[in-house]
Amino acid sequence: MLKPCTKRRKNPRAEDEIIITHYGYSDGSGEYYITIDTDKCDGCGKCVKQCPQSALRLETIFIDLEDKIVASVTDDQRKKIKYTCSPCKPESYNTPCVLACESKAINCTWKTQ
């Protein structure tokens, strides 16, 4: 199973860290990532409902000593995110999941070479 890349950074508004998870990969044709900021994600599920490819789900993860419901990319879509998300034109940054996220927790990085 392909594991997502998780990066921690200091939250400028508080003492705790922010966890940003990158789902996707880089290959010879470019970089293809869906990024979810767990600090901003409120687990509302609007992105999951708007994803026409069913690539997103809500899951419970353990953050800062508590369980939190956040959006994530499904396990079976992580290895093929480039193909799964292409119909939504992620290079335009106006994908249904990004537009549905009122808290601005989801971003797309789509850099073809």
Percent of the chain with pLDDT over 90: 62
- Which structural domain, as residue segments, surrounds residue 62? 5-112
Picking from 92, 103, 82, the residue whose alpha carbon sits closest to that of residue 34 is 82
Residues in contact with 65: Cβ distance below 8 Å, sequence separation at least 6, in sequence order = none
pLDDT of 17 > 70? The answer is no
| Amino acid, single-letter form, for residue 11 | N
Look at residue 19 in the predicted model and tell me its pLDDT.
Answer: 83
Question: Which two structure tokens, joined as six digits, stand for 38?
Answer: 């767990």
Q: How many domains, in total, are found in the chain?
A: 1
| CATH number for the domain harbouring residue 78 | 3.30.70
Distance CA 98, CA 1 (A): 25
Residues in contact with 66: Cβ distance below 8 Å, sequence separation at least 6, in sequence order = none
Task: Calculate mean pLDDT across residues 3-13.
Answer: 51
Task: Calculate mean pLDDT across residues 23-40.
Answer: 92
Look at residue 5 in the predicted model and tell me its pLDDT.
Answer: 55
